[in-house]
Homo-oligomer: A and B are copies of this chain.
Amino acid sequence: MVGKFKEGKTKSFPPTYIVVEFSKKIQLKTAQWLVYKLTGSKQSGGAELIVRKQPSSSSQNLLLHVTCSEEKLLELAEEQEVRKKDKNGVLREFMVDELEEFIEADFKDQLLTAAEKQVLVRHEIENVRALSHEMCILGYTEYPLYVGQSIISACLHYKLIKQVFPLHDQELVKKIGGSWYKSILDERHFEDIRMYFGESIALYFQFLGFYTTALMVPSVLGFLQMILPPVTLAFFCVINIICATLFLELWNRKCSELAYVWGTISMTSFDEPRPNFMGVMGVDVVTGKLLPQAPRFKTHLKMYCVSLPLVVLCMIGAFGVMLFSFWVEDLLKQIPSIPQWVVYAPSVVYAVVVVLMNLVYRRFATFLTEWENHRTQSQYDRHRVTKLVLFEFVNNFMSLFYIAFVIQDIELLRYQLATLLIMLQILNNFQETVYPLAIHYFQKSSKAKQGSPYKELVSQIVGIEEIDSEDFQVKHALEQRTMVPYDDPYDDYLELFVQFGYVFLFSAVYPMAAFWAYVNNFFEMGLDAYKLCNFYQRPMARKVKDTGAWQRLFKALCALSVMTNCLLLSLSPALRDAAPSFSETSWFLNFVILEHILLALRQILHYAIPDKPEWVKIALAKGNYLSKQALKMQRQLKNKANIDSVTKKTLEEL
């Protein structure tokens, strides 16, 4: 991975944005057809991209380097309504004709960020859609296509294309990474991250930073509580919950600020559908463009009538497995002569089963969400994440609830929490670093030995040039194709979600959790940055306007933490001893009232803190006003033109 390797030579070619790796089994004519699709003109259904093939000597699979000229990128940016700040500082849709309003003509290749260029090229690749005469993938009658289906997505689905991945810009990633892991908390890096990795990942890092800062208050409180008598517990719990609520409300605000600055705040479910959206080509009701159309009620029907019951069943199943493991453990404990390690066996088996269930369920949930056929990527992500997290919730928290409220063994709960928190950090850090590295090196070494039986396919493809085998991008493509892809920040968010649960759900029992979470997150920021730059394939940049399902899920967890904490407090022996005069019922009633007050407070905070800061509201209102005025003006002009033409006609007739 030498960044400057032969750099001088490549200046004449545009850099590779996306690499398409074909599968070994693909037929020559299919591969050739796909190459034509990528390079062909728009009229013939092509993408008009610049494609070069990886030299046959260096790889066994056919690798295509896809790129695009700077001029074409600007045109695409206009087409895709990329928003940029003009020279007056107004954020608006970029237009090629007005290039100089946005940037000096000499620097025009710097107008679009690396992430935007990648998104534009990827959009073109994915937007190669089946024409009406293309009933199936060429050469594979068993793989049907419907009109308007994204061909590349279909090939990926049928495994004719092995992977489509963006290439790291080694120079840029070094520059960004270098300063980044050194000073993690510096706000300035977020903009670099966004420019290189796109909004989705930048938002994750913003969230991580914001959340970690918010953890400071509970951390300090956790320490204080070790010194103070346990009667103050209730007080600390209340402050913790208010902290969590405030954090989520303020994050909402922050999020809309970021979305405004990034130009993604106006994303809606009426945006262009994602490539895998199944539908009949038709005129879009909103834009009038020709896009795949599918009735939304079908999606709702599938969601509520099929997916929801199935997900609930899976959750109940997972809960059953948990109960069964507890039951077996109890059973074993009752046998007097059994050795100690056998008693712990059910826990270990359960842990393994959970991992396996998760693997299966993840595929199942992805399949269900795909089948529900959501129109936009944001909708798809939201529903997939919700399904996954509901299941994860059972696996991660149900055993703790069982210990806390059924067995009511507070000591065991505290012990379990501490263990799980540490386990979570270790396992995740392992999964994030060792696992991708291992896969990478294992794949590299196993592939290197195999030789290149498919050399001929590479040489038989015509119509595109071969990259100079000395080009550093050849080496990069080979390096990075065996790296593990980074699909989306789901796992990273999940880690924070589970941690948030451990910290806030049981803060009445284990107040130090916040501190350990804080310490972990501090290092997590650096590790996440490092792994993204070095251990994974470059992620596909994605535009997002908020944290999607996570926002609601964290909120739900926060609401739940009000209940669990109040319940834990009511069960706390220390508090109970401090007020012996209460009857059982009225003691219990106190905490029900406390809970209701806290829930009401959450609602009040929700109403009192507006989702968007004032300046964002004003900016949005201004944009709306301007465009409404423009529409009025346009109608007036049109009307005038009509009158003019009528007058002209009348005059001519006279």
Contacts and interface: CB of A to CB of B under 8 A. Distances in A.
Interface string A264-305: 001011100000000000000111000000001000000010
A285 B627 CA distance: 15
Given A95-B632, A627-B627, A630-B630, A618 B563 contact: no
A98 interface: yes
Interface residues of A, number: 45
A297 to B, nearest CB: 8
Contact of A622 (B92, B285, B624): B285
A106 interface: no
A134 to B, nearest CB: 30
Contact of A634 (B563, B625, B630, B639): B630
B633 A634 contact: yes
Interface stretch (A28-36, A153-161, A310-318, A583-591): A583-591
Nearest to A285: B618
Given A585-B585, A592-B592, A627-B628, A635 B286 contact: no
B286 A618 contact: yes
A95 B269 CA distance: 32
A239 interface: no
A584 B588 CA distance: 11
Given A98-B639, A589-B588, A632 B93 contact: yes
A630 to B, nearest CB: 4
Contacts of A601: none
Interface string A567-585: 0000000000000000011
Integer count of this chain's copies in the complex: 2
Nearest to A78: B632
A87 interface: no
A621 interface: yes
Given A285-B622, A296-B614, A622-B285, A631 B630 contact: yes
B270 A618 contact: yes
B287 A625 contact: yes
A622 B268 CA distance: 12
Contacts of A630: 627, 630-631, 633-634
A596 interface: yes
A356 interface: no
Given A563-B596, A618-B270, A630-B630, A635 B589 contact: no
Contacts of A296: 614
B631 A95 contact: no
Contacts of A585: 584-585, 588
A261 interface: no
Interface in A601-649: 607-608, 614, 617-618, 621-622, 624-628, 630-636, 639-640
Interface in A78-133: 92-93, 95, 97-98, 101
A621 B270 contact: yes
Contacts of A592: 592
Nearest to A618: B285
A98 B636 CA distance: 8
Contacts of A97: 636, 639-640
A95 B285 contact: no
Nearest to A626: B631
Interface string A552-567: 1000000000010000
Contacts of A622: 285-286
A266 to B, nearest CB: 8
A84 to B, nearest CB: 13
Interface centre among A93, A97, A621, A639 (most CB of B within 10 A): A621
11 contacts: A92-B631, A92-B635, A95-B632, A97-B636, A266-B624, A270-B625, A304-B608, A552-B607, A627-B631, A630-B630, A630-B634
Given A268-B621, A588-B589, A630-B631, 8 more contacts: A93-B632, A95-B636, A286-B622, A286-B625, A585-B588, A588-B588, A624-B627, A627-B627
